[in-house]
Every structure is written in C-alpha cells, then in structure tokens.
Amino acid sequence: MRGVVVGGWNYVIAAYSVTTAMLIVYAVSLFVRLTADRGPRTEDKG
Amino acid sequence: MRAALRKELLLQWRTRAQIMSVFVFGATSLLLFSFGVGPNSEVLRQFSAGFLWLGLLLSSTLTLAESFHAEMENRALEGLLLLPADPRALYYGKAIANWIQLSLLGTALVPVMVILYDAGTTRVLSLVGIIILGAAGLSAPGTLYAGMTAQVRAKQTLLPLLLFPLIVPALLASVKATSLVILGDPMQTLRSWLLLLASFDAIYWTLCGLLYPRVVED
Amino acid sequence: MNAENNRFPRTPYILLGLGAALFLFGSWWGLFLAPREQYMGDVQRIMYVHVPTAWNWMLAVIFAFVSAVMFLFTSNYKWDSRLEAGLEVSSLLAFLLCCQGSIWAKPTWGVWWDWDPRLTSVAVLLFAFVGIIALRNFVDDAARRAIWSSVATIIAAVDLPIVYFSVKWWNSLHQQPSSPKTVSSDFYIPLRVNAFAILFLMTGFIMLRARLASRRLANEVSTVPLMEAGETA
C-alpha cells in the first residue's frame, strides 16, 4: 500500500456500469435467442 | 506402440522437406522478432529466450497440424482404429514422434538464436534438456488437439486457438528456465522452473493419453 | 442445478429477477452505505462487485468442468447442453472480471494490467473457453462436438491451477490484492448480498442458456438416440 488513494469515483462508476451493462446485454441476447429459436419450432409442429 | 512410433518416424523421414521448411519458418520468425525490438543487442539478448520459445511455438502449430495429415488424406485413421491396437498406443506413438521432431526443431533454432541475439551459453546440455522438456509440454496437448482439429474445417485457426492458452505455464517455465541458463541464475531458481515444467509434462502426458480414446471414437 | 427444468419453466426468470433486485440492493449498500476504506478510499468499492463476480466465476468453471466429466461418463446430452451454458456464462463472467480488474488496477497500481496471478489466470481461461466455444461452432456432428468440447474443457480446467501458480512464481514481487479477510465486518454485507445476487443471475443465465442449447440440439438432430436432449415439448 502506498498511501491512501484519493477520489477514484470515476473508476467505481465505470466498474459498476460495465458490469451492469454486460449483464443486461447478455440477458437481452439470451431472450432474443430463446424467442428466435421458438419461432421455427412451432412452425415445424404446425 | 513401438510400431505406431516407427510408422510416425518413417512418415516424418519421408516428409523431411516439410520439416526443413518449418525450420526455415522458425528461423525467419526469429529474424522478424528482432525487428520488433530494434538493433539493441543488449535488449535482444535479454529477450532471446522468449523469442526462441515463441518461434518454436509458432512453428509447432505447423508440424502438429501436419501430423494428422496422412491419416486424414485417405481416411486412414478409421482403418487404424479398426486394428486391434489400443488407440492410446496410436496417440503416444504420434505424440512421441511430435516430441522428437519439436525437440530437434528447437535445438536447431538455438544456433540461429545465438547468432542473431548474441545469446551464447556454455551450458548447452541444460539448454537442450529444457528444450526437450518444453517440447514435451507442447506435444502432448498439441497432438490431442491436432487430432480433433484435423477433422474440422478452419483447422489452421482452431489449433492455435485451443493450444496457445493451454500451454501458458509450459511456455512461462521454458522461457524462464532458458533465460536463466543464458543470462545466469543468481537466485538458483532454475530447478523449481524445471520442476514446474516436468509436472506440466507429467500431468498432460497422462491426461491426454487417458482422454484420446474418447476423441477418436465414433 | 436442473438446467432443462421443464416442470418449472419460470424458475430462471424468477432467479434473474431476484438476482437483479439483490444486485441493486447490494450495490446501493456498497456504493453509498458502506464506510470508505482506510487505504484504498472509494476505489475499494469496486471490490463489492469484483469479488462476488470472482467467486461465481469459479463456480461457473466448476460447473462446466463437472458437466464435461459427467458427459464423458454418461453420454447424456443434457450434460452437453449444460456444458455449453457453463462455457458461455463463465466466459461472460471472466470477461467482466478482466474489465473490473483493469479498472481496479489503474488507480491502485497505475497500470491497466498488472500480471496479477488471479487476473492472468482468469484471462488465460477466458481465452481457452472462447477457443472451445469456437470449436463447438465449427463441429457439425453433435456427438463429436459434445465429446471434443468435454475433453477440451477438462484439459483447460486442469490447466487453471497450473497457470495460477506459474504466474504467481513468475511475478512473485507482487502485493496481495485486498481480500475479504483483510477488510472489517462493515464490508461483509454488500459483499455477501452481491455474491448471492450474482449467484442467482448466473444460475438463471445458465438455466436459460442450457435450455437454448438443448432446443438447438433437438432441432438439429433428428436421430432417435439423441432425443434425450431434454425439452420434448
């Protein structure tokens, strides 16, 4: 440890926004892929 | 297994022109690395071990990818698997052949390194020993992955993609050990790096041999 | 973790909702309620998301490894779907870890990348798993794809401790980053809340991704023996 790190809120905000953004993007991509996959399958059945 | 090994070595001997061109490829990459640093002989000497191993690693993807070429050509692998031979013997035969080839290649690249980077050493035997250990670390997983990717389109991309992250510890230990031999070893840490390299080899020669039969089964 | 949970199709969505709520709560606590750390100042608040991600990444890697082993032993394709899910979700978490780790390293050590053994092993395993995902995309035959990616996953997972220790020796002149043991009990609550938040999110992701994988498998393969892929509806 070389003394106290002053400030650094920018880094904190960056870390949290990157994490939240990635999690949301992944969730959206999952939903998109799941709904896209459901389409042709129901056609097959019908 | 001895028969499998003999077959591989015979095959390599017949395609020695290809091995020669791989050596030229490795030597060329050693030449090119120095242009990435600039004509500072002190810095080049410092990095020489890393360059040697990167050159060997890049060349190894060529030889490893080629090692299943003959089998893929005439679908001979399926024929070999029909024989009452253990697929493990096939794997170890191929892996040992690759090991020998890579060790020779690495040894052949040493003079190039010495000349280009002024990285001479009197401990030639330990240097060759490190190359043999490091080549073992490359060839065990390399042969297994080559066996997979040889049957896939885009194999030239996939083999390095799978192999490079995996051999990070072996590369690290080989580079460190080689540079300790070249630049001197004030802390006497060479032994522990060799131990790390040897354990990497032991783990992967066992594990890949265990898993290979599953890779070729159908 | 039952990945292809047909009886409870809503479970992953409930987990995702719960995880998101907990994540908001834990991050709010970590950002605004937790006291400022003595040495690291406010930057230490990154740990409230970084450390839970790391724990869960570890779990995801173990999940992928177990799925790979189980597939090789049972040849049941539900483990193949789980493996696919585990590979993708642990790559996501590893990527997050690399981003958070560099953001943490910049104010702390002045560089974006510090060759810390943990961060480096995460990056190495991220590349290994991305390579395996690429392999899966290039192999059309379902049986080969499943076996090969299981084999590659086992090999990569075995590599993880070796990478960790070799990088540790290689870069031995390095201070230990603060771990939860070195921080006082004030810091535990947001850490734990976020750990469960990301656990729920990860579990939900893995379940949905495995569902997607088994659906694709069922669409792709018409041969009968592979139809145990789950998801018959």
> Distance of CA A38 to CAs A43, B42, B170, C15, C210, Å?
9, 63, 45, 21, 14
CA distance C68 to C52: 24
> In the prediction, which pLDDT does C62 show?
95
**Calpha distance C89→C210 (Å, rounded):** 10
Structure confidence by residue, pLDDT tens digits, A4-32: 566 678 888 889 999 999 999 999 999 99
Q: How many CA atoms lie within 13 A of C93 on its CB side?
A: 29
> What six digits make up the tokens of C114?
């510090």
Q: Looking at the complex, report in whole angstroms how far the Cα of residue B17 sits from the nearest Cα belonging to chain C.
A: 31
Nearest to C138 among B153, B208, B214 (CB): B153
H or E segment to which residue B213 belongs: helix B190-216
Give the whole-angstrom CA distance, residue C167 versus residue C205. 31
Altogether, the residues listed in chain A come to a count of: 46
One-letter amino acid for residue C189 of the chain: I
pTM as predicted: 0.86
C128 and B173 within 8 Å at the Cβ level: the answer is: no
C20 CB-side CA count, 13 A: 13
For chain B, which residues score pLDDT lower than 70? Answer: 73-84, 218
Residue C178, phi then psi, degrees to nearest 5:
-65, 135
Please indicate whether, in this complex, the C-beta atoms of A27 and C215 are within 8 angstroms of each other: no
C-alpha to C-alpha distance for C115 and C122, rounded to whole angstroms = 11
Verify whether the Cβ–Cβ distance A37 to C216 is below 8 Å.
yes
Q: Does A33 touch chain C (CB under 8 A)?
A: yes
pLDDT in tens, C121-176: 999 999 999 999 999 999 888 888 999 999 999 999 999 999 988 888 887 644 45
Q: State residue B206's pLDDT score.
A: 94
Instruction: Tell me the Ramachandran region of residue C208: left when phi exceeds 0, alpha when psi lies from -120 to 50, beta otherwise.
Output: alpha
pLDDT over 50 (residue C224) = no
pLDDT in tens, C121-136: 999 999 999 999 999 9
Please report the pLDDT score of residue B203 as a whole number. 95
Substitution target from A5, A12, A24, A42 for chain C, most C beta carbons within 10 A: A12
Rounded to whole angstroms, how far apart are CA atoms C161 and C124? 11
| Nearest Cβ partner for C43 among A5, A23, A41 | A5
Q: Is residue C78's pLDDT more than 80?
A: yes
- Which uninterrupted H or E stretch holds B50? helix B41-66
Q: Is B204 on the interface with C (CB under 8 A)?
A: yes
Q: What is the largest CA-CA distance in chain C?
A: 63
Q: Which chains touch C (3 or more CB pairs under 8 A)?
A: A, B
| Phi, psi torsion values for B190, nearest 5 degrees | -55, -40
Answer whether B169 touches C (CB < 8 Å). Answer: yes
SS3 of C45-63: HHHHHHHHHHHHHHHHHHH
What is the residue-wise DSSP string for A11-44? HHHHHHHHHHHHHHHHHHHHHHHHHHHHHHHHHH
Instruction: For residue C151, list chain B residues with Cβ-Cβ distance below 8 A.
Output: 144, 148, 211, 214-215
b/e per residue C156-183 (b: at least 16 CB within 10 A): bbebbebbbebbebbeeeeeebbeeeeb
The helix or strand, by DSSP H or E, that contains position B114, with its residue range, turns out to be helix B87-117
Cross-chain CB nearest to C151 (options B168, B173, B214): B214
Round to whole Å and give the CA distance between B23 and B17: 10
Q: What is the DSSP letter of C145?
A: H
Of residues C128, C144, C167, nearest to B166 (C-beta): C128
Which pLDDT value is given to residue C231? Answer: 44
**Residue C184 pLDDT:** 59
Which pLDDT belongs to residue B130? 93
pLDDT in tens, B49-80: 999 999 999 999 888 888 887 777 666 666 66
Q: Does C22 touch chain A (CB under 8 A)?
A: no
Closest CA to B27 of B138, B111, B97: B111
Strands (E), chain C: none
- Chain-centroid distance of CA C46 in Å reads 18
Q: Which residues of C touch B153 (CB under 8 A)?
A: 138
Task: Map tokens 């509806």 to a residue.
Answer: C233
Please list every residue in chain C whose beta carbon sits closer than 8 Å to the beta carbon of residue A40. 219
In chain C, whose CA is at the least distance from the CA of A34?
C212
Q: Is C100 on the interface with A (CB under 8 A)?
A: yes
Judge A/B contact: 3 or more CB pairs < 8 A.
no
Query: Which of C35-44, C96-105, C143-152, C206-215 bottoms out in mean pLDDT, i.e. has the lowest?
Result: C35-44
What is the rounded CA–CA span in Å between residue B162 and residue C134?
Answer: 9
Distance from C-alpha of B169 to C-alpha of B78, rounded to nearest angstrom: 34
Are C49 and A3 within 8 A, CB to CB? no
Q: Which of C104, C130, C132, C131 is nearest to C118 (CA)?
A: C104
